[in-house]
Amino acid sequence: MRIMAASAFNLKREVEYGSPEQNAAVREIVAAVRAKGDAALLEFTERFDGVKLEASGLKVTAEEIQAAYGQVDEEFLAAIREAAANIRAFHEKQKQKSWMEPSPDGTLLGQIVRPLRRVGVYVPGGKAAYPSSVLMNFIPAQVAGVAEIVMVTPPATGGQAGINPYILVAAAEAGVKEIYRVGGAQAIAALAYGTETIAPVDKICGPGNIYVALAKREVYGAVDIDSIAGPSEIVVLADGSADPVYIAADLLSQAEHDEMASAVLVTSSAGLAKAVSDEVERQLADLPRAAIARKSIDDYGAILTVDSLDEGIAVVNRLAPEHLEIMTADPMEVVGRIENAGAIFLGAYSTEPVGDYFAGPNHILPTNGTARFASALGVDDFVKKSSLIRYSREALLKHGGKIMALARREGLEAHARAVEVRLMKEQVKDIGMKEG
C-alpha cells in the first residue's frame, strides 16, 4: 500500500454519471412506462431480466414472503431482528416534534412535522443484494411514520421470478408488505408515475446500477429522491498506540466493496504506516474478493503521513470521509475537532462493520467529500414541515403598517394592499363602534 504525504492526496473521485446513450435509453424507458403502464413493465422485465410475467405476477405474495422465511437460517434471522431493533431505537431519537407557540396578541406561529405519505425503495437484485441496506432504507421511513412503504426489486435472471430470500425476510422484518418484482429504470418510472398495479410514491430511495441512478435523476421533481451515492470510503486516523492488524482489516473491509472504494490511513507514526502496509498485504492474500480489494487499494487507497495529530485532524476535515475511525490514545479528545465525517467510529473495538450491520446508526452516508454538507439517511428525510401562521386582528392592526412599508420598498403594491384592505375595513369598524 503506497505511503505518501497527505497534501498530495484527494479522496474525491470523478464519478461517471452515464453516457448520452445510457441517458437516452433511460428516458425512453421512463416515457414508455408513463405511456403504457404495466404492459411496459412486463415488456422490459422480459427484455432485461429474461423473465416473462403477467401483470398479476408483479406483486410478491404473502405466501412467497412466508416461504422465504423457510430458506434463511436461524442465526441470520436472530441477528437481523436484533439489528432491526437497534436501528429502530437509534432512529426513534431523531424524530422531530411539531410545535406551536401562541403570543398574548393572538398570534400563533408553529411548525407541523408530518411523514411523507408513500415512499418507494429500490433494492438491487443479484450479487449486490444486501439485506442490511433493506433495513437501513426502510426503518427510518417507518419511524418517521410513512403510511405506505413499497419495495421494488428485480426478479432473479435466467427465467426465475424468485427474489433473494434474505432480501424478502429483511423487508418483512422491517415491516414492508407491498413488494413488486420489477427492477431497473422501469421500476423507478413506475414508482414515480404509477401504473395500473403500482401506485405512485412521493419519494424514491435506494441504490442501484447506472440505469437506476439515471432514472432517479430523470424523475426527480415529479417525486423526491435520496442522494445518488458515490463509491464507499473509509479514513482511519491513528497514532502509534493503534493495532496495525485491526487497521489493515478495516481498510480491507472497505476495499472489498468495489474497485472504486477508497481506504485511507492517516497517521503520525512512521512505524504504524509501515506495519499497516505490510499487514494489508498479508491479509489481502486469502480474501475471497482479493481482486476487487487489490484494485481499490492500488487505485484509491493510501497511507498518509502527517507530522502531528493536529495535522491529521486537518487532513480528515479536508477529506470529509463517509466513514472515519479514530484509533488514537484518546478518541474522545479528538472527536470534537472533527468537522466533516458521515459516521465516526471511536476506538479499537468500533470497527466499521459494527455500524454497517448492527449498532443502530444508518449506514447510508454521504460519500465523495459531501460530508462537508450532507448527513446520513435519517428520519428527517421522510418528513416534511408546514409553517403555521395565525395573525389576530390585533396583531395585524399593530404590525400591518410595517408589512406594507416593506412590500412597497420591493415594488409589490398588491402585497401592501392585501394588508391595507383589511386595515381600512377594520378601522371603519372601529369608527362604527365608537360612533355606535
Site for a second copy in 134-193 (CB under 8 A): 166
314 forms part of the interface with a second copy (CB under 8 A): no
Judged by beta carbon, residue 131 or residue 184, the one nearer a second copy is 131
> 229: helix, coil or strand?
coil
Judged by beta carbon, residue 43 or residue 420, the one nearer a second copy is 420
Alpha-carbon gap, residue 262 to 256, rounded angstroms: 10
345 forms part of the interface with a second copy (CB under 8 A): yes
Candidates 22, 23, 111, 197; binder of a second copy (CB under 8 A) is: 111
Residues 19 to 38 in contact with a second copy, rule: CB under 8 A: none
Determine whether 91 is an active site residue. Answer: no
Residues 363 to 402 in contact with a second copy, rule: CB under 8 A: 365-366, 368, 370-376, 378, 380, 383-393, 395-396, 399, 402
Alpha-carbon gap, residue 76 to 54, rounded angstroms: 33
User: Any known ligand binding at 209?
Assistant: yes
CA distances from 432 to 400, 425, 427 (A): 20, 10, 8
416 forms part of the interface with a second copy (CB under 8 A): yes
277 forms part of the interface with a second copy (CB under 8 A): no
Alpha-carbon gap, residue 162 to 154, rounded angstroms: 9
197 forms part of the interface with a second copy (CB under 8 A): no
- Of 322, 325, 352, 363, the catalytic one is 322
117 forms part of the interface with a second copy (CB under 8 A): yes
269 forms part of the interface with a second copy (CB under 8 A): no
Q: Mask 67-106, x = binds a second copy (CB under 8 A)?
A: --------xx-xxx-xx------x--xx-x--x-x-----
On whether the CB atoms of residues 145 and 115 are closer than 8 A, the answer is: yes
Q: Which stretch binds a second copy (CB under 8 A): 27-35, 149-157, 264-272, 340-348?
A: 340-348
Q: What share of the chain is helix, strand, coil (3-state, %, to 5)?
A: 50, 15, 35
Residue 45, all three cell numbers: 422485465
Size of the site for a second copy (CB under 8 A): 119
232 forms part of the interface with a second copy (CB under 8 A): no
Placement of cell 406483486 in the chain: 59
Alpha-carbon gap, residue 61 to 177, rounded angstroms: 9
CB 38 to a second copy: min, Å: 23
Residues 6+ apart with CB under 8 A from 84: 135, 139, 173, 174
Which DSSP string do the residues of 141-191 spell out, in sequence order?
Answer: HHHHT-SEEEEEEPPPSSS-----HHHHHHHHHTT--EEEE--HHHHHHHH
Alpha-carbon gap, residue 100 to 114, rounded angstroms: 14
Phi, psi of 325, rounded to the nearest 5 degrees: -105, 130
CB 2 to a second copy: min, Å: 19
250 forms part of the interface with a second copy (CB under 8 A): yes
CB 41 to a second copy: min, Å: 23
Q: Which stretch binds a second copy (CB under 8 A): 136-144, 175-183, 184-192, 418-426?
A: 418-426
Alpha-carbon gap, residue 259 to 267, rounded angstroms: 24
Candidates 38, 173, 224, 239; binder of a second copy (CB under 8 A) is: 224
Q: Return the amino acid letter for 294.
A: R
Candidates 8, 70, 158, 409; binder of a second copy (CB under 8 A) is: 409
Determine whether 333 is an active site residue. Answer: no
> 265: helix, coil or strand?
strand
Question: Looking at the annotation, which residues are catalytic?
Answer: 322-323
- Binding-site residues, in ranges, read 122, 186, 209, 232, 254, 257, 323, 356, 410, 415
- Binding-site residues for NAD(+), in ranges, read 122, 186, 209
